[in-house]
Amino acid sequence: MKKFIKTAVAGVVLAGSTLLSAQSFAAESTLEHIISSGEMKVCFDAGYMPFEMKTKDGRFVGFDIDLSKHMARSIGVKYVPVNTAWDGIIPALQTDKCDIIIAGMTVTPERNLKVNFADPYIVIGQSILLSPKLEGKVKTYKDLNNSKYTIATKLGTTGAEAAKNYIPRAKLSLFDTEVDAVLQVTNGKADAFVYDFPYNAIYNSQHKDQLKHLDKPFTYEPLAFAIKQDDPNFLNFLNNYLRQIKGDGTYQRIYNKWFESDSWLKQVQ
pLDDT tens across 48-67, in order? 999 999 999 999 999 999 99
Query: How confident is the model at residue 269, as a pLDDT?
Result: 65
pLDDT of residue 75: 97
Given this model, what pLDDT does residue 261 score?
A: 86
The dihedral through the CA atoms of 145, 211, 265, 250 has a sign that is negative
Residue 252 phi/psi, 5-degree rounding, is -65, -40
Q: Do you know the residue count of the chain?
A: 269
pTM: 0.82
- Do 206 and 265 form a contact (C-beta atoms < 8 A)? yes
pLDDT at 206: 87
Tens of pLDDT, residue by residue over 132-154, are 999 999 999 999 999 999 999 99
Ranges of residues in the chain whose predicted pLDDT is under 50 = 1-26
Q: What is the pLDDT of residue 208?
A: 86
| Alpha-carbon span 147 to 220, nearest angstrom | 25
144-174 residues labelled b (16+ CB within 10 A) or e (exposed): beeeebbbbbbbbbbbbbbbeebbeebeebb
State residue 27's pLDDT score. 57
The answer to whether 213 touches 135, Cβ cutoff 8 Å, is no
- Burial environment of residue 124 by CB neighbours within 10 A (0 to 12, 13 to 18, 19 or more): buried
